[in-house]
Structures are given as structure tokens and as C-alpha cells.
Structure 1
Amino acid sequence: MSENGFVDAFHLVWLAALAPLLLLLGLLAKARNKRMELVGLRVNKHSASIWVPLLLLAIGILAWARPYLGITEIKRAVMGADIMVVVDVSRSMLANDTPPSRLELARRAIFDLVDLSERRKRGDRIGLVLFAGESYLYCPPTNDHAVLKTFVRSIDSEMISSQGSALNQGLKSAVESLRSAKVGTATIVLLTDGEDQKFDQSDAAAVIRSSGYKLVIVGIGTTAGSVIELPGGSFLKDNDGKIVVSRLAEDALKELASATAGSYFPTTETSAALERSFPQELPGEVQEAETLRQYRDIGPLLLLFPMALMLALKITGRRAAFLALIPILLCSRANADTPPSPHQAYRAYQEGDFDYALRGFEALSANTPDDPNALKALGSAQYKKGDYESAAQTFRKLEALQNGLPNESQFDARYNLGNALFMKGNFKEAIKQYEGALEINSTDRRAQHNLEVARKMLKEQEQQKQQQQQQQQDQDQQQNQDQQEQEQQNQNQQQQDQSDQHNQQDSSNPEDQNSAKEQQDAPSPSPAAGQDQQQPKPQSSEAQPGDQEKEIPLSEREARNWLDSLPDSPVLIQKQRHRAPSSEQQTW
């Protein structure tokens, strides 16, 4: 990027619009002066009545375009810790042995952690991983705690359809998410009742030890346990029909904490656990944030020029005030048109304000056109607004940039492009993208499911097209038959008229009556020589009872609701899921 220029250079087009206006006013002023000279009036060659407003307008437009002289790059050192909270959202967390429920207690623990971080003003970056029968990154580590709290409030036990308690997978998701963010030192906080019948302690301990991250476990629940009341009022039962009593697996969690040199705290010591696990001073937790660009904006300095000009021309009073308002108003407009920052855009996206988020992501993508994260954010906002055409174009650019990058990034690009094409109704191209994504990761259930539905929709689309073509052919055939029948009727009527006319002539001549009678006794010729008297019967365009039955196609609204209901619709962070084999899962 150039060291000098305009932040919003597209506003300079207004200067081009001023050029013909200036030329026209110059010609008019010259003609006016000539007329005044002819009548002997004195011409004031220094009159500023026309040029001063136009000059001030031009200055205002320049200020609107936000000129800058140089760019300063700032690297900030940010204090704070990286914390990944792993939350158990399986059905066992609905047990109420810790009123009102284990899951609600886990939510409160996260809020306490956020409040502690805000009181200490360290700017801790906190993220969320959810797990039940599978796990995924729910919220990436962020120091925007207002956004984080929004995510926490939305946590419930229905967020993961695959039931069970894959605790190992939850820890793996946390470690992989932190590594992807290139976090060297972090703390993983595990909030769970530990009730995983297939829990592999040695595997979980190996994952934590190899990562180098600190593990803090908060056991949610009691060893006495409780039944699990489902939303409908019934109690959860096992495969044998017995009511399940869920208990805190405290011993297993303590052993895991010991094996990883971590810490374990019971439910009653949640506050103390946070205070001890995250002390006020965090030596060695300083990390360098991304480089920030700061423009040396000289737009406000342009306001000094109109004041100097008015002083030089001795313009005072109301006229001076009016002229001074021109550049000031345009500068105010420039500030109003400034797009939101990436942080503001991200927050707006999370709150559902996709129009505002789109403005910020468009500006971000314009400044960094080759940044995959900027393109992913832009495409996601376009998708959420329902602009699937633009989203497909953006994701296609992202796909082109992802060549040679890690497989996970390539998978995300193709998968998101497939979703956008699906919503456009371009099922054939969507199938290609889903198949391309599965070539990278053949076990991804999302892409497999979407591919199956896209193939079904394409089949129904082709069947509908064939039906329309067949109906058109039937209509054309029916029209041809009707036309042939009409022509045959006209021909028969013409022959009948000729025959009647001939009979009338015969009856008017007495000498020919006998011959006419003889002719009547003779065999009568066919109405139209060489033409078959039997007319073809029109074919019915309606389908017969034996026709092949066709599947009822999904409506567009149903398809959209299905895609929108997926937890993996294009968002800023793709959810990498980890799922244990179905044979190893429990259902609570």
C-alpha cells in the first residue's frame, strides 16, 4: 500500500463532476463581464462570489476522501491469559443434584471466570468448546467478553444432536483449537460431571501433557447423584428401561488432574478454584498482538485553508459562516461514512446485525484482498443476508487462494462454497464442491449429509424439468391434432357445399331428372378420394394410473431451514468436530 493517498479515494469522483461545472461557470462569468463592459459598467475582476463556494466545496470533497501522508505500523503488547473452557452439554448435565441443574451451574462458573478477568483488567482471551457425543469449537478465544457472554447464555443440552459424553474428544478439540491459534501458553478449564463410560484417562492425560497446557477441572454434580428429568417431564432411562441415576465421577477426574499435574476442584469450591488458578500477576503471559495500521490523516487540517481564504478575501458575517459550513459538513459526512472496524463488524455479526457487519468486512476485504480470514468473514455475512450469489463469488475467491494451504482450510472453502451454491439452487455445482471437500476429509458427516441432500434435490429438479418438457410436448401434440381435425372438418364442409350446389342445379333441369335418379341409384363415391374417413383420436395429456410415481420435492423454504439449522453454516470460525465411534457412546 502506498505511503500517501486517500483512505476513501472513491469520493474523488465528485471532483470530476465539478470540472464541467467550473468550466460552465467560467464561460458564464466571462460573458457577463463582456455585457457589463458594453454598457459601461465596471467589472470587478477580483470578485469571489462564484469561485469561493466552489473552491470550498472542492476542499470539502478532498477532506471527505480522507487524505493521509504516511502510515504508522503499531505493534501492541497485550497482557492476559489464554483460557479455553470445555463444557459438558450431555444429558447428564440436566441432573438437578446441584440446583437448578448441573448445566446452569457450569454457566455460572463461566460468568464468574469472565467477571474475575474483567475485575483484574488483564484482557484475558477466553474461548468455549462444547462436547456431548461429539465436540467442536463453539467460540474462539476472544477478549470481547460481551460477545463471549452472549455465547454462554445460549448454551443448552440440545446444541449437539449426538448424545453421549465424549470427554476425550472435548479435550482434543480444545488443544487443537489453541494450537491453530498459535497459542503457546494456555489454561484449559474442564466443566463436567465426568460420567463417561468409555473415558480413556491415559489418552486424555497424554493429550494434555503433550500440549504443555495447564488443566483445571471443576467437578459439576455430587457423588450421591440424581435422576435426569427430560424437557417433557419424563425421566431418562437406559436400554433396559431402568431410570438412569447420574453421579459425579469424582475419582476419575481427580486421577486425570493428578496425571497431568493439573488441579481438581469440587462444585462447592468453584470461586476458590478460579482465584487460585488465575492469580493477579501472570509473568510470562505477555503476547504480541497483530500489527495495526494507523493513517496520518490530514483531512481535518484542510479546514484551516477555508478560514485563511476568507480572511484574505475579507469575507465576514453570515456569508463567512455559511461558506465555512461547507467543508465542515463534508468532513462530518466522511466520519459518518467510515466503515466499522473488524472488531465492531465481528461483534455485529454475532448479534445478527449482518448489514453493519457486511460494511466492515467489505472494507476489511478491500484493504486486504488476499487475506483468507477477511474473505471468509465477507462470504459469511453475505450468506447470512441471503445474498447467495455474492457469497458464492466470495467463497470461490477463497477457494482459489486456499490452494497449497492446509487441508482444513481447503475443506472449509469448498464446503462453504457448496452451501452457497446449494442455496442458489445450483445443485450440480454444489455436489462438485461437496465431493471436493470429501476428497480432503472423507469422514466429515456434514459434507456427507449435504451431498446426499444435494443429489436428491438435483434428481427432483431434473424430474420436474422432464415433466415440464413432457407437458409441453403433450400440449404441442394436442394442438397439432386439433389443427388437423379443424382442417378435416373444413374440407368435409367444402365437399358437402359443392355436392349441395350440384344437386340444386340438377333439380332445376327437368330433362336431367331421370339421369339424376339413375345417378342416385348408382353407388355413391367416397367423400374424399384417397382419404381415410376415420379421424385419429386425440391423446390424453393426463398421466395414466400406471405412470411412475415421483418423490415430492423439498420446498425451497424447507431446504433453507435445513441448511440454516445446521451448526456448520458458514461462520467466521468453522466447527471442527470430533466424534467417537457410535458403538462406544452412551446416551447421556
Structure 2
Amino acid sequence: MNFQYQYPEAFWLLLLVPLIALLYVVYILWQKRTTKRIGEPKLIAALTKNHSPLKSRIKFALFLFAFALGCLSLANPRKPDDASAEVRKGIDAVIALDVSNSMTATDVQPSRLLLAQKLLTSLIDKMPNDRIGLVVFAGNAYTQMPLSTDHEAAKLFVSTASPEMVPEQGTVIGDALLQSNAAFEEGSQRFKTIILVTDGETHDEDALKTAQDLAKKGVMINTVGLGSASGSTILDTLTHGAKKDESGQVVVSKLNEDLLQQLATSTHGTYIHLEAVAPAIATLLDQYKNVDKKALLDTSGLYYESFYWWLVLPMALLLLVELFVSDRKKVSA
């Protein structure tokens, strides 16, 4: 790996170097004009005979060079230790997790969402070499975590997912699939898969077409369905009773298995009706067992050797020299 700078934005400070130099030139010109206006040249020369313009400019040049070195040191030049990087052979998996209000239904225990979270945290532990991303969705879809090998962070995001994260309610599966696909690196040769975890209760007519388009790009969608065919009422957070529609009828949320099966089949994936965590994980991992797992250089654990001291030390030396350089002429005895 090549030499690099940790904070390249510090280079913008170098723009101050020509600005400071310009201000110094303006100051010198102003000083000369002012000197001419305040008295006789001979008198001014006598009063300033001990001042050395050359030494003053040398002092300024030392300061300006030290300032530039300081800017470069703030960028923290460093070199990674290639031996500390890990090569991981795996796949890229984006989890699309439904956090709509219907996922709070309790036709599965302890609730659809809590069971989904239990599944996903266990699944992430079983995919140590894979990059994991997370998209949460309800009425809108949001990327909660980009693809990463930081599995502890992935589990944390999964465990804290809730309906409050998405202000607009609903279930836009098509948008969730598009947002998940956007998380994949364009041009990457690694196997791409979306794990869609939802009750499938949606009026999104574009969901199946979106899945078919993704299949043409080589994306496999595995769907995990939560809930029951008979359905369950949803808790209304305002009334703390069963949620009702505009006509006053109690809302019953049902698992839409047909759609989830179609989404999976159209992308050569599999559909799982989640009832128990262990067999669901085994089925998902079996889907990825025989796929081509490309090598990925994981740089998240890289050790870097910093070289900013190589700039700080000469900067300090220049400032020290500037401090002891006098701008007065040597007077002959």
C-alpha cells in the first residue's frame, strides 16, 4: 500500500501560505510609503541604521516555511503495515429489515420484530468473513449501515431498530430492494445478496419487477417472512389498544407469503417462514455455501506508522532559529 495522509483536508491550510506572503509584501510596501511621508530620508536612515531589512525577510521566510510544515504535519502522513491487513473470502450481504408498525404484532413471540432481531444477530455471527450492510424500511427506506466487516456494529444497529426510526409508515418493499442494491459497490465482483426480513404486508406493485431487475444484475434475494396467515392486531401507540382504520375497523396484519415466495424465486433465492431461529439460519447459510466467494482485503484492522514528527521537528527547529535571528545589523566598533 502507498504512503497516505490521514487528514488530507489539512492541505487547505496551505492556501494561507501565499496569502500570508502577499500580506507581508503589502506591509513592506506600506512601510516604505509611510517612511517617505514622515520625514527626511537622511534622518530616517539615521534612525533605522541598526535595522536589517534582509534579516527581517529571512525571519519571515523561516516562519512561513515552518507554518507550511505545520500544515503538512496536521495531515498526519502515515504508512500502513501491510502485514496487519486481513484477507477475507466472503460475500456482500445487505439486510433489509422491515420496521413498520405491523412488525410489532405478536402472532409470533415475543413479536415479529424481536424475533427478526434475534435471527439477524445470530446470523451475523455465522458470517464472519462477509461484509454486512443494513437497510431499514417502512414507508421509506434508509441505509442504516453501509457494507462493513464491523459485525459488532451491525448487531448493534439491528438490535436498536424500531418503528420510530422511520417517520412515514407503510411497507415499501420495492424501495427497500433498490436502497439495498445501492449499498453494493459498483463493479465489485463479489457475490451480492439481499436478505429481506418482513411480514410482506405491502401495496407496492413494483416490488416484484424490482426483484426481477436485480436478478439480471446477479443479486440473489432471500426472503424471511414473519407472522401468520390468520394475522394479528397491531398495538396503537396513542390509544394503547388495537389499531383501527379510518372506518373504525380493527386492523389485522397478515403475513403475505405469496409475494415473498415470488421475490425469492425470481432471483434464485429461497423463502423462509420464520418460526425457529436455528433452522432458518441453516437454510440461509446453505444458500451461500456454494457461491463464489471473492477475496477482500480488510483494512479495518490496519496498523499505521505515522511520520508527522518528521515535519514537526524541523518546524520547531525553524521557529527556534527564527526566534534567535536578530533583525539588527552588526555595528562595527
TM surpasses 0.5: yes
Cα distance, 1:256 vs. partner? 1.9
Cα distance, 1:80 vs. partner? 2.2
- Which of 232, 236, 245 aligns to 2:243? It is 236
Q: Show the counterpart of 1:85.
A: 95
Q: Show the counterpart of 2:111.
A: 101
Q: Show the counterpart of 2:191.
A: 185
Residue deviations 1:325-372, cap 9 Å, x none? xxxxxxxxxxxxx89xxxxxxxxxxxxxxxxxxxxxxx9xx9xxxxxx
Cα distance, 1:281 vs. partner? 5.1
* Amino acid aligned to 1:246: S
* Amino acid aligned to 2:230: A
Q: Show the counterpart of 1:20.
A: none
Q: Show the counterpart of 1:261.
A: 268
Q: Show the counterpart of 1:458.
A: none
In 2, Cα distance between equivalents of 1:178 and 1:243: 40
- Which of 239, 245, 249 aligns to 2:256? It is 249
In 2, Cα distance between equivalents of 1:224 and 1:196: 16
In 1, Cα distance between equivalents of 2:169 and 2:233: 17
Cα distance, 1:76 vs. partner? 4.8
More helix by share: 1
When normalised by structure 2's length, the TM-score is 0.61
Q: Show the counterpart of 2:16.
A: none
Aligned pair 1:170/2:176, yes or no? yes
* Amino acid aligned to 2:297: A
Q: 1:239 to 1:182 in 2, by over 3 A?
A: farther
Contact 1:167 1:199 (8 Å CA) reproduced = no
* Amino acid aligned to 2:153: V
Gaps of 5+ in 1: 4-67, 298-337, 340-362, 367-588
With a CA cutoff of 8 Å and minimum separation of 6, indicate the structure with the bigger relative contact order: 2
In 1, Cα distance between equivalents of 2:221 and 2:256: 17
Residue deviations 1:277-328, cap 9 Å, x none? 2248556313232679877x7xxxxxxxxxxxxxxxxxxxxxxxxxxxxxxx
Cα distance, 1:115 vs. partner? 2.6
Q: CA RMSD in A?
A: 3.2
Q: 1:182 to 1:97 in 2, by over 3 A?
A: same
More strand by share: 2
* Amino acid aligned to 2:90: G
Q: 1:183 to 1:103 in 2, by over 3 A?
A: farther
Contact 1:82 1:183 (8 Å CA) reproduced = no
- Which of 218, 223, 232 aligns to 1:226? It is 232
Residue deviations 1:152-179, cap 9 Å, x none? 1211011100111101000110011113
Q: Show the counterpart of 1:143.
A: 149
In 1, Cα distance between equivalents of 2:147 and 2:186: 11
Q: Percent identity?
A: 32
Contact 2:89 2:293 (8 Å CA) reproduced = yes
In 2, Cα distance between equivalents of 1:214 and 1:246: 27
When normalised by structure 1's length, the TM-score is 0.36
Cα distance, 1:194 vs. partner? 0.4
In 1, Cα distance between equivalents of 2:2 and 2:191: 37
Contact 2:197 2:223 (8 Å CA) reproduced = yes
- SS of 1:158 mapped into structure 2: helix
In 2, Cα distance between equivalents of 1:194 and 1:173: 17
Written as runs of structure 1 = structure 2, the 5 A alignment for 1:109-120 is 109-117=119-127
Residue deviations 1:369-426, cap 9 Å, x none? xxxxxxxxxxxxxxxxxxxxxxxxxxxxxxxxxxxxxxxxxxxxxxxxxxxxxxxxxx
In 2, Cα distance between equivalents of 1:127 and 1:264: 20
Contact 2:90 2:296 (8 Å CA) reproduced = no
In 2, Cα distance between equivalents of 1:208 and 1:87: 18
Whose Rg is larger?
Answer: 1
Cα distance, 1:196 vs. partner? 0.4
Aligned pair 1:277/2:287, yes or no? no
Contact 1:132 1:162 (8 Å CA) reproduced = yes
Q: 1:208 to 1:273 in 2, by over 3 A?
A: farther
Contact 2:121 2:159 (8 Å CA) reproduced = no
Q: Show the counterpart of 2:41.
A: none
Q: 1:72 to 1:231 in 2, by over 3 A?
A: closer
Gaps of 5+ in 2: 4-76, 312-333
Q: 1:181 to 1:99 in 2, by over 3 A?
A: farther
Q: Show the counterpart of 1:10.
A: none
- SS of 1:278 mapped into structure 2: helix
- SS of 2:179 mapped into structure 1: helix
Q: Show the counterpart of 1:286.
A: 294
Contact 1:97 1:221 (8 Å CA) reproduced = yes
Q: Number of residue pairs matched?
A: 231
Contact 1:133 1:165 (8 Å CA) reproduced = yes
Contact 2:131 2:148 (8 Å CA) reproduced = yes
